[in-house]
Amino acid sequence: MSDLADMTATQMAAAVRARKVSPVELTEAVLKRMDERKDLNAFITVTGEAALAEARAAEDRMMKGSELPPLHGVPYSAKDLLNTAGVRTTMGSRLLETNVPATDAVSVSRAKAAGAILVGKTTTPEFGHLQAATSPLFGRTLNPIDAKVTPGASSSGSAVAVATGMGPISLGTDGGGSSRIPAACCGVVGFKPSLGTIPHLQLPDLFGANSYVGPMARTVSDVALVFDAINGPDFHDTYGQAARLLHEGGASLRGLRVGFIAEGGARVERETAAITAAAVKKMEDAGALVEEAFIDFKSYEAVFLTILRVGLAARTGPLLKGHENLAGQTLIDTIALGHGYSAVDLSNAISERTRLFREFQALFERFDILVSPTLTAPPLPIDVDPTGDIEIDGVNCGTVRGAWYPFTFPHNLSGHPAITIPCGNTKAGLPLGLHLCAPWYRDLDLLRVAAEAESLLT
């Protein structure tokens, strides 16, 4: 039974289609694994009974020989920032501890239509506001590779779940690297698609969106399988109205123009830099045309913080008022900071977002793909202060956001698709990620390149 939980989503879907395994067996195996790994604290809510009921219905359909959707019988989880009809959705906060939405998020609805079976809602810091896998509601989520280091955030539970076979796929959200950071910390794949390709209608501002829904899994092929099932335009989405995936066909690295952003304005830890460079060299040896490229990503930290803090203050501030005792201090402080910005500050930040987009586009006139480290250093200690400074190679490099993940949050501002894949481990056994980015709506090309790079690096 435990072996079934270790199957990929692609393997599970094929086995169900061939009637080699039933959705009930798969669901039971995943629920058993979830029970065995309670110590990791990856789930806020487990939907065991409902999942088994869905699995039995899926088994009946399978046995009748009905046409099966692409994810039929495959168990999955969803980050607890995504609405799930009839299933508690807390946003990782005691402020919404008993909240039960009436409708599904678009991504959840599409996963359900594709035949996937929801087994639970995964952990996230309150409203995804913090780079720490902890919340007053659920406590701390642990990294399955090394409990002394962070599993990353804010899609913490999703990364831990897929890394340990608690479902082969999970729907995460990414507001500044929130899927890609924990994926890199846990040795799995995290994907942030182009703005508009997967509708995220829960956002109050669809025109200025910087949070994205994306699949997380152990392999690029699983991410691509889920992406194929849940992407597409939606009448109620602004950018999604015109979102059209583009591709030129072929996945070969040979002749691919790759821009390697080795630093991005930040200090990269020596071992991380060496392992990343070795991964890029393997791409070059496979025929990619690699040249150095540069954007000062770290300099956009203030822009990102302005938009993040103002958004939290506007969206979450009213919920917090009068209930401060239910929230963590960092959320309270972040909302207070958000109230301190002026309308001019926000307008200037939006203008800087446009400038960053133009910097990306200038590089994409020369390159097909941009690659970099996902993080500047291996997973940080579990008890690091997420609002404080960090040291890299003995040097104080500033805040966690600007110093540790300057390669991820700029893509949330610019809208470009980005993915992290495992690219090696440190001498201490900690995983590192390689970050790849493509032009808008070249998501399919990006996934193909990532799959080929994955085959070179694993």
pLDDT at residue 1, rounded to an integer? 44
Q: What percent of the chain has pLDDT over 70?
A: 98
Query: Which pLDDT band holds residue 248 (cuts at 50, 70, 90)?
Result: low
Give the DSSP H or E segment for 360: helix 343-364
pLDDT at residue 304, rounded to an integer? 98
Q: Are the C-beta atoms of residues 435 and 407 closer than 8 Å to each other? A: yes
Query: Which pLDDT band holds residue 242 (cuts at 50, 70, 90)?
Result: low
Average model confidence (pLDDT) across the chain: 96
Q: What is the pLDDT of residues 104-151, one digit of tens each?
A: 999 999 999 999 999 999 999 999 999 999 999 999 999 999 999 999
Tokens coding 383: 């008890």
Q: What is the pLDDT of residues 383-406, one digit of tens each?
A: 999 999 999 999 999 999 999 999
pLDDT at residue 241, rounded to an integer? 73
pLDDT at residue 184, rounded to an integer? 98
Mean pLDDT confidence for 265-287: 98
Q: Which is catalytic among the residues 107, 155, 170, 178?
A: 178
List the helix and strand counts (H, then E) for the chain: 15, 15
Looking at residue 93, its amino acid is: S
Q: What is the pLDDT of residues 201-233, one digit of tens each?
A: 999 999 999 999 999 999 999 999 999 999 999
Looking at residue 355, its amino acid is: R
pLDDT at residue 244, rounded to an integer? 73
Phi-psi category of residue 232: left, alpha or beta, with phi > 0 → left and psi -120 to 50 → alpha: left
Please give the Cα distance from 365 to 166 (Å, whole number). 41
Q: Which is catalytic among the residues 135, 154, 211, 372?
A: 154
pLDDT at residue 155, rounded to an integer? 98
List all residues 6 or more positions away from 182 whose beta carbon is below 8 Å from its beta carbon: 133, 151, 152, 153, 154, 155, 156, 158, 159, 160, 172, 190, 216
Confirm whether 154 is a catalytic residue. yes
* Residue 182 CB neighbour total at 10 angstroms: 35
Q: Are the C-beta atoms of residues 279 and 271 closer than 8 Å to each other? A: no
Please give the Cα distance from 180 to 421 (Å, whole number). 9
Confirm whether 2 is a catalytic residue. no
pLDDT at residue 82, rounded to an integer? 98
Please give the Cα distance from 312 to 337 (Å, whole number). 10
pLDDT for residue 407 is more than 90: yes
pLDDT at residue 240, rounded to an integer? 77
Confirm whether 22 is a catalytic residue. no
Please give the Cα distance from 410 to 433 (Å, whole number). 17
- CB burial of residue 347 (10 Å; 0-12, 13-18, 19+): exposed
The span from the first CA to the last CA of the chain, in angstroms, equals 26
**Which residues partner with 431 through β-bridges?**
425
Which residue ranges form the domains of the chain, and what is each CATH number? Answer: 2-240 (3.90.1300.10), 257-302+340-457 (3.90.1300.10)
Q: Which is catalytic among the residues 22, 77, 79, 121?
A: 79
